[in-house]
Structure 1
Amino acid sequence: MTEPISGFSKLTKEEKIDWVTSNYTQNKEQSIKILQTYWNQNSNIQQLHDEFIENTLTNLYLPLGIAPNFLINNKLFAIPMAIEESSVIAAASKAAKFWLNRGGFKTEVLGTEKVGQVHFLFKGNFEKLSSFFTYLKPKLLAESTSLTTSMEKRGGGISDIVLKNKTAELKNYYQLHATFQTKDAMGANFINSCLEQFATTLKKETAAYDGFSDEEKNVEVIMSILSNYVPNCTVRAQVSCPVEELQLSADISPQHTAEKIIQAIKIAQIEPYRAVTHNKGIMNGIDAVVLATGNDFRAVEAGIHAYACRNGQYSSLTHAEIENGIFTFWIELPLALGTVGGLTNLHPLVKLNLEILQNPSAEELMQIIAVAGLAQNFAAVSSLVTTGIQKGHMKMHLLNILNQLGASDLEKGKLVTHFRTNIVTHHEVELQLNALRK
């Protein structure tokens, strides 16, 4: 039985690998070889990767691809996407090409406000606390000036601070609910620093306030932290065309195709089981660009999924309609992103990907990423209501299946040709490979 280890973080990378492979793998030499295979040959780059996180052993690579031909507000983009799932980039590219000659994607940033909160307990009268907050607010702003000066020079800063009474939900629970503008930075460190200063000022001023009893002066700060739910940091992207141009299948009329897409969206709006998979497809596009640009996909995911159930039920992020013969398909979602700070200044591939995107501002990146999600959803839903999802997806998955089965390059070439006109399933690929080998 493996014993607990003390001081693991102080070991060298080689010592960490030796310990892990000795205690947790069946073939130590083979495991070490696999880990070392994924080291970057450039020692400076590898050191950079090693220092991104703690206890680094190696790198886990994701393929980085390009989805070209995205016309966004009359400007052409090639969008970098980092993802392991087959067919995602192909689907996004197909959607981009379809809309390229139909006016492309139109986008609009609806807001850029971010949120942070100081959560605290106060055992006293709310009216007294409310009066105290009127006195406190200017001090909160004044005592955080050293933190906000640089951000204010860039056009950002603290937008507002309000006192929220949450005692109906939890006894003695209140918030300092603050809103921020962080310009091209995602702003997590800036926001959290401001919040911690608010907490310090709150405790100090509460303890000295003559209008409070001794018990009321004993305010307890539970935590100070930004929120990844940013319903006022949102972006809208849409496409539209005359219904007669929506010829996606030889077997279904454009009018029927448009109607089926609208019904598919309505189903995702009222049926959570469908909505989750529907929105997961949107996130295929969004996460891939978020990762490629060095942003936090976990924060983006959490905020978007919270937004999807803001009306009390988890629902579709996309919408569709026909009005006066025009089919319109759109998405509206929150995106808190940065194009400066963090990995954007450190990771060479992230910097290159941002250059490929023509060095966007945070607002421009919001629009690009919303478009990637919309394109992905259009491709998925249009396939679902016409040919079905598996026909295209499995063709893109063919090489993965062949690699799993150990096919040679010659065998891959022959079977790729065979399956251009045949349905791909794992069983059928296996049968054809065995027949070829015989």
Structure 2
Amino acid sequence: MIKPIEGFSKLSKDEKIEWIANTYTHNSEETIAILKQYWSTDQKLQQLHDEFIENTITNFYLPLGIAPNFLINNRLYAIPMAIEESSVVAAASKAAKFWQHRGGFKTSIIGTEKVGQVHFMYHGDTKKLQQFFKEVHPKLISNVAPIIKNMEKRGGGINKIELRDKTAELNHYHQLHCTFETLDAMGANFINSCLENFADTLKKEASEYADFTKEERNIEIVMSILSNNIPNCLVRAEVSCPVAELNEDKGISPMEFAQKMVRAVAIAKAEPYRAVTHNKGIMNGVDAVVLATGNDFRAIEAGAHAYAAKDGQYTSLTHASIENDIFKFWIEIPLALGTVGGLTSLHPMVRMALEILQNPNAKELMQIVAAAGLAQNFGALRSLVTTGIQQGHMKMHLLNILNQLGATESEKKALIKYFKKHTASHSAVVSAFENLRNQA
């Protein structure tokens, strides 16, 4: 029976690995060897990785690929993508090449406003709370001055602080709903520091407010935290061309292809089960760039899916239309990204990825990421409405299957050649592999 361990965080890295290997794995020597195999031989680099998080035992690698030929606002990009899923980089690259010769991606920033909230409980007269807020508002701003000084110098800071009555949703619940401009920083630490200062000021001033009763003075701060729901931190990316230029050579006419694409998006708008998978494909492209540039892909996922459900039903993040024989395909997506702070200056791979992207500011990175998501969705839908998703995906997945089967290099070459002309399902690959082995 496994027993809890005390003081795990105080163990050395070697001791942590030894305990994990001996306690939870069948072959401790193999486990230790695998974990240490992924350590960097550069001790300074390894120490840097060790200090990113707590209880580090090794590094976990993901492939870093490049999707070239992205023409975005008449500027050419090669986009770094960190992802483990087969065919994502290939699909993005193929879509980028397709649109490069049809005007490329046109992108624009709709807004960059970010949100944070102080959640608190107040037992008393709401009108008195509203009057208190009006009087305390200047102090909320003045008390946070040391925190926002540098951000304001760069043109950012606090946009607005609102008192919101949420008692219809939860008894006694109110909030300070605050909006911020954080420029090239994602801004989580800045926003949270401001919010905690607001909370301290709110509680202190309430405790001394003459017009409050004793109970009203006892405001309970529940929590102060930024929100990853950022509907006003929004970017748009679009591609368009005459329908006649959609010469897919897939056995269908350009107009039929355009109509199939529009219907595919319409289905994702109408059917949440389809919309979830549809948007997951978008996030394949988005997350891969977000991860490569050291940003928070979990926050991006949460914000994007909240935006997809903003009108009461989960729906497609992309849109498509045919007007006057022009095919348009576009996305509007919230993206809170940063190009300074966090890992952007610490992680060597992140620094390199940003350099490959020509050192974008946060707004430029938003537009690059949105274009990658749109390209990914276009590539997926193009396959779905023509040849089907499995033909291309399984051929890209072929090497993973062969590696699992332990294929030699000569066997890989033979089977890759074979599946250029045959459908590559998992069972078909296993069968072909076994036949090849039996012939040897």
Give the root-mean-square deviation of aligned CA atoms.
0.6
> SS at 2:343's partner residue?
helix
**Hey, what does 1:276 align to over in structure 2?**
276
**Hey, what does 1:174 align to over in structure 2?**
174
**Hey, what does 2:10 align to over in structure 1?**
10
The 5 A counterparts of 1:34-433 are 34-433=34-433
Displacement after TM superposition at 1:251 (Å): 0.9
Could you tell me how far apart the structure 1 residues matched to 2:308 and 2:87 are? 25
Displacement after TM superposition at 1:250 (Å): 3.1
Please tell me whether the aligned partners of residues 249 and 386 of structure 1 are also in contact (alpha carbons under 8 angstroms).
Answer: no
Please tell me whether the aligned partners of residues 72 and 106 of structure 2 are also in contact (alpha carbons under 8 angstroms).
Answer: yes
Could you tell me how far apart the structure 1 residues matched to 2:226 and 2:419 are? 51
User: What are the Cα deviations for residues 147-183 of structure 1, in whole angstroms up to 9, with x where unaligned?
Assistant: 0001001110000100000011111110011000000
User: What are the Cα deviations for residues 269-326 of structure 1, in whole angstroms up to 9, with x where unaligned?
Assistant: 0100000000000000000000000000000000100000000000000000001110
> SS at 1:303's partner residue?
helix
> SS at 2:344's partner residue?
helix
Could you tell me how far apart the structure 2 residues matched to 1:170 and 1:176 are? 15
User: What are the Cα deviations for residues 309-361 of structure 1, in whole angstroms up to 9, with x where unaligned?
Assistant: 00000000000000111000000010001000010010000000000000000
How many residue pairs are counted as aligned between the two chains?
A: 438
Please tell me whether the aligned partners of residues 248 and 382 of structure 1 are also in contact (alpha carbons under 8 angstroms).
Answer: no
User: What are the Cα deviations for residues 167-205 of structure 1, in whole angstroms up to 9, with x where unaligned?
Assistant: 111111100110000000000000000000000100111
Displacement after TM superposition at 1:435 (Å): 1.6
Give the letter aligned to residue 268 of structure 1. A
Could you tell me how far apart the structure 1 residues matched to 2:297 and 2:29 are? 34
Could you tell me how far apart the structure 2 residues matched to 1:167 and 1:200 are? 22
Please tell me whether the aligned partners of residues 114 and 232 of structure 1 are also in contact (alpha carbons under 8 angstroms).
Answer: yes
Unaligned runs of 5+ in 2: none
User: What are the Cα deviations for residues 221-249 of structure 1, in whole angstroms up to 9, with x where unaligned?
Assistant: 10000000000000000000000111223
> SS at 2:333's partner residue?
strand
Give the letter aligned to residue 376 of structure 1. Q
Give the letter aligned to residue 85 of structure 2. E
Displacement after TM superposition at 1:432 (Å): 1.5
Please tell me whether the aligned partners of residues 265 and 319 of structure 1 are also in contact (alpha carbons under 8 angstroms).
Answer: yes
Please tell me whether the aligned partners of residues 248 and 386 of structure 1 are also in contact (alpha carbons under 8 angstroms).
Answer: no
> SS at 2:258's partner residue?
helix
Could you tell me how far apart the structure 2 residues matched to 1:249 and 1:258 are? 13
Percent identical among aligned pairs is: 66
Please tell me whether the aligned partners of residues 250 and 386 of structure 2 are also in contact (alpha carbons under 8 angstroms).
Answer: no
Could you tell me how far apart the structure 1 residues matched to 2:344 and 2:250 are? 45
Displacement after TM superposition at 1:74 (Å): 0.1
Please tell me whether the aligned partners of residues 113 and 181 of structure 1 are also in contact (alpha carbons under 8 angstroms).
Answer: yes
User: What are the Cα deviations for residues 365-388 of structure 1, in whole angstroms up to 9, with x where unaligned?
Assistant: 000000000000000001100110
> SS at 1:344's partner residue?
coil
Please tell me whether the aligned partners of residues 162 and 176 of structure 2 are also in contact (alpha carbons under 8 angstroms).
Answer: yes
Please tell me whether the aligned partners of residues 63 and 84 of structure 1 are also in contact (alpha carbons under 8 angstroms).
Answer: yes
> SS at 1:77's partner residue?
strand
> SS at 1:80's partner residue?
strand
Give the letter aligned to residue 394 of structure 1. M
> SS at 2:146's partner residue?
helix
> SS at 2:55's partner residue?
coil
Could you tell me how far apart the structure 2 residues matched to 1:188 and 1:435 are? 56
Could you tell me how far apart the structure 2 residues matched to 1:249 and 1:287 are? 31
> SS at 1:330's partner residue?
strand
User: What are the Cα deviations for residues 197-216 of structure 1, in whole angstroms up to 9, with x where unaligned?
Assistant: 00010011111111111111
**TM-score, normalised with respect to structure 1:** 0.99
Could you tell me how far apart the structure 1 residues matched to 2:271 and 2:248 are? 25
**TM-score, normalised with respect to structure 2:** 0.99
